Amino acid sequence: MNLRIFETVEELIRAAERTIVQLAEGRESMTIALSGGSTPKPLYERLGKREELAKIAITWVLVDERYVPLDDPQSNAAMIQRTLFANGMPPSHRFLRFKTELNDPVLTAKQFEKEWDVEQVDLILLGCGDDGHTASLFPGTPVLEIEDRIAAEVFVPRLDQWRVTLTMPVIRAATLRIVLMPGASKAKILRDVREGAEYPVALATRGVETWWYVDEEALRC
């Protein structure tokens, strides 16, 4: 496991920002997939202010979405629009999101696939839940078995909620995955993954280039 360890969450976020900017250097275009949640919010705010990124043709892809309206506080797309695009989206950028306004998870996933014209995802930012899920790949859900789709709908029983998500093959095919995993609440999951546990986050990252950005709290057992 390629661990990058930081003393604080702020240092972790600044390091992730530097990594993304460095990956973009000298490129004319790239594709970056973004996850929701509270951890990456300050990262997206910082990236939105980086003038060097505004000069590159970037396709930003949403990793997954709760099936809620765009104006719902739970909406990942809305959070990204409020942070990364707080000052507007540069003309050379594109944001590929899940259109929950279609009011049908199946149609939303299919529409996302129709709009997908990405040859290669250069970087995908992932998080991890306290049950070991990443994106909306939750333990025990059938979406984990999908091998022939770019995106898919999934009902998560424990949340009583529909979601739409990139599938495991797409996540694994990216050039690089960065898992943002700070906090003491992630210590058990991190330890279990290092010991070989079969959590979705482990299945999505094992054997492919993945950098785990953790803070010291997350290393405590």
Enter the tokens of residue 112.
């996302």
- H-type alpha helices, the chain: 9-24, 41-47, 51-54, 76-83, 105-115, 168-173, 187-194, 200-205
What's at 41, amino acid-wise?
K
Which CATH number goes with the domain that contains 172? 3.40.50.1360
pLDDT score of 12: 96
Q: What is the mean pLDDT of residues 102-110?
A: 98
pLDDT exceeds 70 at position 119: yes
3-class DSSP assignment, residue 57: strand
Domain count, the chain: 1
pLDDT exceeds 80 at position 134: yes
| Band (221; pLDDT cuts 50, 70, 90) | low
**Quick one: which H or E segment has residue 178?**
strand 176-180
3-class DSSP assignment, residue 38: coil
The range of the structural domain enclosing residue 204 comes to 2-219
Looking at residue 24, the DSSP 8-state letter turns out to be: H
pLDDT over 70 for what percent of the chain? 100
Q: What is the mean pLDDT of residues 58-64?
A: 98
pTM: 0.95
| Band (219; pLDDT cuts 50, 70, 90) | confident
pLDDT exceeds 90 at position 220: no
Q: What is the mean pLDDT of residues 157-173?
A: 97
